[in-house]
Amino acid sequence: MKTLLIVYHSLTGGTRQMAEAAARAAQGEEGVTVRLLRAVDAGPADVLAADGYLFAAPENLASLAGLMKDFFDRCYYPVLGQANGRPYAVMICAGSDGSNALRQLERIATGWRLKAIAPGLIVCTHAQTPERILAPKVIEADDLARCAELGAGLAAGLAAGVF
């Protein structure tokens, strides 16, 4: 049995919806256990117990959200050298662009020596005013379908031993 760890942070619900869509789709893959954890609840033991990862984070101020960065910071030294080559994918929930947050997370994954299995997925909510930025998000069905596809693909690759 393989384990897919999905770690996410979400303040307004958008990233949570994306992570949940990916988790639901991944759970349909026989031979894969899916663990969905908030970044504040995930730690080195969770990382080391997993065979692959899906990281879902919001973009805040053109950067990776702080609590997601905190997860990576807390886990870096305890997992260094022990997760090398494991597959990962990334989802970013952004108000505008998301590319800086994606780039930052990809650089972190390079430092962890993980292997990207898909291009980063960015969902843009177009939240550009204080009211819209802080408002609860509703991710559109087509974007949730892309998240589900990424989760299912990662789980299928783990189950088949492709990664």
List per-residue pLDDT tens for the chain, 163 residues long.
999 999 999 999 999 999 999 999 999 999 999 999 999 999 999 999 999 999 999 999 889 999 999 999 999 999 999 999 999 999 999 998 999 999 999 999 999 999 999 999 999 999 988 888 889 999 999 999 999 999 999 999 999 999 9
DSSP characters over the chain: -EEEEEEE--SSSHHHHHHHHHHHHHTTSTTEEEEEEEGGG--HHHHHT-SEEEEEEEEETTEE-HHHHHHHHHHHHHHTTTSTT-EEEEEEEESS--HHHHHHHHHHHHHHT-EE-SPPEEEE----SHHHHHSPP---HHHHHHHHHHHHHHHHHHHHT--
